[in-house]
Amino acid sequence: MKNKELFTLNPEQVNLKNEGVAKIRAINEKEDFSIVEYELKTFVCEGEYHDGLRKMLQTYLTYLQDGKTDLPAFWVSGFYGSGKSHLVKMASYLWNDFEFPNGKTARSIKPLPQDIQDLFVEIDRKQKIQGKLAVDILLFSFY
């Protein structure tokens, strides 16, 4: 067996549309949509990404359930290149279930673990009752 046969996507047949860098910015061009779609398709919601996303979603739902009006912010930290921006970017697209011009949505593109799907369903339900919850991204870079 060859290494390339171990992967879901064959690395010889997949071009890194984002050149391996997650950039958080407004989507303005057709190519931007294909980059976001690519990033969603290749997002691996396992390990620390899974745990971080679950913690964010569960915390918001707990605060809403307790009737609190001040929702917490999240600080995502890690070493350079560890995937902080990628996690935050994917969380934002999945939270909003971003809709592409072709009608696909972020959550229809990326199959997620059942526990994460369940949390998004609950967030959607809460938003229908209480109104849309904002997800803002604020990044600081230190050199």
The owner of tokens 């229809």 is 108
Q: Is 135 contained in some domain?
A: no
The SS3 of residue 99 is strand
Phi-psi region of 132 (alpha: psi -120 to 50; beta: other; left: phi over 0): beta
The owner of tokens 């949509």 is 33
For residues 26 and 57, what is the distance between their CA atoms, to the nearest angstrom? 23
pLDDT at residue 20 tops 70: no
Confidence (pTM): 0.73
Range(s) of the domain holding residue 26: 3-130
Q: 14 pLDDT band (50/70/90 cuts)? A: low
pLDDT at residue 116 tops 90: yes
For residues 79 and 115, what is the distance between their CA atoms, to the nearest angstrom? 27
Q: Is 142 contained in some domain?
A: no
Q: Which of 48, 43, 47 is nearest to 78 (CA)?
A: 48
Identity of the amino acid at 13: Q
Domain count, the chain: 1
Q: Is 137 contained in some domain?
A: no
Q: Is 119 contained in some domain?
A: yes
